[in-house]
Copies of this chain bind each other. A is one copy, B any other.
Amino acid sequence: MELWFTEEHTENVRFSIRVDRHIVSEQSDFQKIDVFETPEFGKMLIIDDFVMLTEKDEFIYHEMITHVPMAVNQNIKNILVIGAGDGGTVRELTRYNSVEKIEMVEIDKKVVDISMEYLPFTASRLNSEKVKLYFEDGLKFVKTKENEYDLIIVDSTDPIGPGVELFTKEFYENCFKALKEDGILVNQHESPYYKREQEAMQKAHKKIKEVFPIARVYQAHIPTYGSGHWLFGFASKKYDPVKDLNEEWWNSIKIDTRYYDTELHKGCFALPNYVKKLLSNA
């Protein structure tokens, strides 16, 4: 028997992965959650038929969504993480001794439960004493906060299903309010290549730059996401992600990384012309 998982990148493009074992399949109140064991990528977390992470390359996504903002401000102590139920983002953040508190708000407890059980490589630090988990609606949670966080990371699914509200202008405005005067917002910013993600990227950027004085976008090579060309947003009240990179400090704390370093930090903000054009026309 051959078992294959197929993600439709578009209605005309399919990415198929051979599966050794379908480990779990659950329908939560919010979405369908599957875990596969695969020969190429190890374990994979799939939500609503889209690849969320693979054991082989989750390090790329999780390093890029965390170390880029962390290397800009060495005084980041209080962090809010929205989404990120698999735990990979928190795992990276707990590597900083300087971080004091991480509040993580995930709407779907089932994602955390499944990750704790089947994906220990990402979920391993979710029970760190610095971490406080809330199983709530991210938009409602952030609405109640003011001048509280040094960094907010929005590690969301695509703007389909429960992720939709994390792409609204109201949400970005609430993040702005919840951040301190030198706060940074980093978000999963979709992809420039296929139409669906391209439109989501443009809409998100348009809204974020209406709210934050500094709104930049950076890129990474993530082979198991559609097109492999994935973006993150860096929005901030004060810090420029490249000019204010604290290279010396970040290299002095010796965090061992497999994708990120401070040279790549500077390089990843140099976007292709066609992406810059899409963003400026957003």
Contacts and interface: CB of A to CB of B under 8 A. Distances in A.
Contact of A273 (B57, B229, B258, B272): B258
A187 interface: no
A49 to B, nearest CB: 16
Interface string A245-282: 00000000000011111011011111111100000000
Interface stretch (A11-19, A98-106, A122-130): A11-19
A206 interface: no
A10 B223 contact: no
A237 interface: no
B270 A266 contact: yes
Contacts of A223: 193, 227-229
Contacts of A274: 258-259
What's the number of copies of this chain in the assembled complex?
2
The winner among A193, A221, A260, A264 for most chain B CB atoms within 10 A is: A221
A38 interface: yes
A73 interface: no
Interface size class of A (residues with CB under 8 A): 35 or more
A256 B272 CA distance: 12
Contacts of A60: 272
A113 interface: no
A266 B227 CA distance: 23
Contact of A221 (B229, B263, B269, B273): B229
Interface string A56-96: 01001000000000000000000000000000000000000
Nearest to A38: B12
Nearest to A39: B12
Contact of A270 (B13, B16, B38, B268): B268
Contacts of A228: 221, 223, 227-229
B257 A263 contact: no
Interface string A14-41: 1111100000000000000000001110
9 contacts: A13-B15, A13-B16, A13-B18, A14-B16, A219-B221, A221-B227, A259-B272, A260-B272, A267-B267
5 nearest A-B pairs in the assembled complex, by CB-CB distance: A228-B228, A267-B270, A267-B267, A223-B227, A12-B18
Interface of A: 4, 10-18, 38-40, 57, 60, 193-194, 219, 221, 223, 227-229, 257-261, 263-264, 266-274
